[in-house]
Amino acid sequence: MPFVFIISIIVILVILFKLNDKRVEKINRKHDQQVKNIIETYYTVDKVECIYRENGKTELVFQDNSLNLNSYQVKIVNGFEDEKVEIKAPLYNERDLNDLFERVLAETYFYISKARYDGLIQATA
C-alpha cells in the first residue's frame, strides 16, 4: 500500500512539473511575440529619419530613439516595394524584456531601398 502511495505522488509531481514547463514556455512565447511586434510596429523602414555608418556599425535614427546595429543587418535593395524589416530570431527563454529585446534585435534585418538609403546616410555619428 505505501508503495502505491509513493508512486502516485511521484506521478502527480511529474504531471505538475510538465504543466508548469508548458506554462513557462507559453509566457516566453508571448514575450517573444510582444518584442517582435514592437520592432515590426515602431521600427519600420519608412520611420528612419537618419542613418549613420561608422566602423562596421550602422545607427538607424528614429523620432524617439536610435538602434545601433551591425552593418550586415542593414541591406540595400533595389526598390521601395522590397523594403521590409525581417526578424529571424528563434524562441528565447528570456524573462527580462530588455535582454530579450537586445537578443531579438541582433537577429533583425532592415532591407532599405538604395534611394532611401542614399537620402538618409550621414557622414559620422
What residues contact 124, with CB distance under 8 A and at least 6 apart?
A: 52, 54
Q: Which residues pair with 110 in a beta bridge?
A: 74, 85
pLDDT of residue 124: 61
pLDDT of residue 55: 85
Domain residue spans of the chain: 2-122
In order along its 125 residues, the chain shows pLDDT tens digits of: 788 888 888 888 888 888 888 888 888 888 888 888 888 888 889 899 999 988 889 999 998 889 999 999 999 999 889 999 998 887 777 777 788 888 888 999 999 999 999 888 886 65
Q: At residue 86, what are phi and psi to the nearest 5 degrees? A: -115, 125
Q: DSSP of 63-123, one letter per residue?
A: SS-EEEEEGGGEEEESSGGG-EEEE---------HHHHHHHHHHTEEEEEEHHHHHHHEES
